[in-house]
Amino acid sequence: MPDDDHEGYPGRRIDQVASIAHCAVARTKPNVVTLHIGTNDMNQSHDLAGAPKRLGGLIDQVLADSPGATVLVATLIPSVKAGMQPKIDAFNAALPGVVAQRAGQGKHVLLVGMGAVTPSDLAETSHPNDTAYRKTAKAFFTGITTAHQRGWIRTPDGAEGDPKTCGVDSAADLGKGWKPMGVIAPGMGGPAGRIDLVQLNGDHRADYVKIFPDGSVRAALNTLGADGRIHWVDQGIIAPGVGQPGDSVRFADMNGDGLDDYLVVGPAGSMDAHVHVPNTMTWTKIDTFATGTKAGPRARMRLGDVNGDRKADYLVVGRTGAVHAYVNHMTGMSDGNWTEHKYFAKESFYPDTAVAFRDVTGDNRADYLVIQGDRVQAWENQGGDNLTP
């Protein structure tokens, strides 16, 4: 299409999309809105009886925020997850009435049937594979064509848009040199866990891991698809856990081989290392890799390569942002060997909870960042106090 800007929200329920759309639709004034929504409500058994009414409310909200828009409402594609399909069937059965009520009021609302998508078209229990996406696209295109033939596709009233911006899921403009990529990972679903991006196969593309409360880890490898976009290849559980809670688990490259190692940090800062064995998803344990006796509590411990040798160093952030560095001199599969550098960074007077270390300049040395809300301040690491680069 001449203007193919679009946005979408994976993993959201009807009410969650409504809270985002109220801002996004008013701001962008779309002329076509496609809704394939409700699967997450079904999956979470969230107000099932009220789901059709809530969908109707979302349609009304969209049309109020962008008068003259066309809304295409899709029936849900099937699911093979246990207990899901009866919920989907009941929801789909209510959709013709939801659409007909609004069409009878003269609103530009059409029902789009997804009956061509079958369980054999699923990539897993509830998500489509490429065949299903093609069928979905064809169904929506048919709806757009029908709307066009009726004269509905036009520039909506007030198309200059509302200048307000959206907080959640908006693509903020970070300035020159930054290209928005939008949502690159829709999430793994399943039990709650902590998300991190780590290096698992040495290809310099950060991989996606979910660390569960029992310390087990599920991973998806970051691969470059034929379409030039990031594709995630699920590896399942790559680490079963070692009997320690998930909030104690960290990932960092401790021996400089380009692979992140599985680390368990104790409450007082001690650290056991499980070194990543190359070309595998297995780990070799090194007990008490760092004692933590001079370091500090786990909450103020950070890992980052501050001297550019590609080995993560052990950093302790004081309550007002001062940093002590313990430089990592690990060789082979040896225990940790550390050199202490007090006041590697002096007080910044920012709280320790806001301080992070990441290489943002590309020189292999972790820089000092302060992250507060969406705002990031950075100090380039040129060796730090008491440490010659």
β-partners of residue 304 are: 313
* Secondary structure class of 301 (helix, strand, coil): strand
Rounded Cα distance, 264 and 273, in Å: 7
Residues in Cβ contact with 328 at an 8 Å cutoff, skipping those fewer than 6 apart? 254, 309, 311, 312, 313, 314, 336, 337, 338
Report helix, strand or coil for 221: strand
- Please tell me the predicted confidence (pLDDT) of residue 295: 52
Closest CA to 389 of 355, 360, 358, 366: 366
pLDDT at 385: 65
Report whether 316 contacts 340 (CB < 8 A). no
Residue 375 is which amino acid? R
Tell how strand 32-35 and strand 70-74 pair up: parallel
Secondary element (H or E) of residue 200: none
Residue 219 CB partners (closer than 8 Å, separation 6+):
200, 207, 208, 209, 210, 234, 235, 236, 238, 281
Both tokens of residue 49?
Answer: 């009886």
In one-letter notation, the amino acid at residue 346 is K
| Cα(336)–Cα(292) distance, integer angstroms | 11
Question: Residue 159's pLDDT is what?
Answer: 47
Q: In whole angstroms, give the CA distance from residue 198 to residue 219.
A: 9
pLDDT of residue 226: 77
Each residue's pLDDT expressed in tens, for the chain with a length of 389 residues: 666 677 777 778 999 888 888 878 887 888 899 999 999 999 999 999 999 999 999 999 999 988 889 999 999 999 999 999 999 999 999 999 999 999 999 999 999 999 999 999 998 888 899 999 999 999 999 999 999 999 999 876 554 544 444 544 444 455 666 666 666 776 777 778 888 888 898 888 888 899 999 999 999 998 887 777 788 899 999 999 888 999 899 999 998 888 999 999 888 888 888 999 988 888 888 876 777 545 567 888 899 999 999 999 999 998 888 888 889 888 755 566 788 888 888 888 888 888 889 887 778 888 888 887 667 788 888 877 665 43
Give the angle subtended at the CA of 34 by the CAs of 173 and 60, to the nearest 5°.
Answer: 95
Residues ≥6 apart with Cβ < 8 Å to 217: 209, 210, 211, 237, 238, 239, 241, 249, 262
Return phi, psi of residue 212, to 5°: -85, 165
pLDDT of residue 72: 98
Matching residue, tokens 């959640």: 168
Are 17 and 9 contacting, i.e. CB atoms less than 8 angstroms apart?
yes
Q: What is the pTM of this model?
A: 0.57
DSSP assignment letter at 166: -
Q: List the structure tokens of 373.
A: 């809300």
Rounded-to-integer distance, Cα 304 and Cα 313, Å: 5
Vertex 185, ends 180 and 187: CA angle to 5°?
Answer: 145
Contacts of 236 (CB under 8 A, 6+ apart): 218, 219
**Looking at the chain, how many residues does it have?**
389
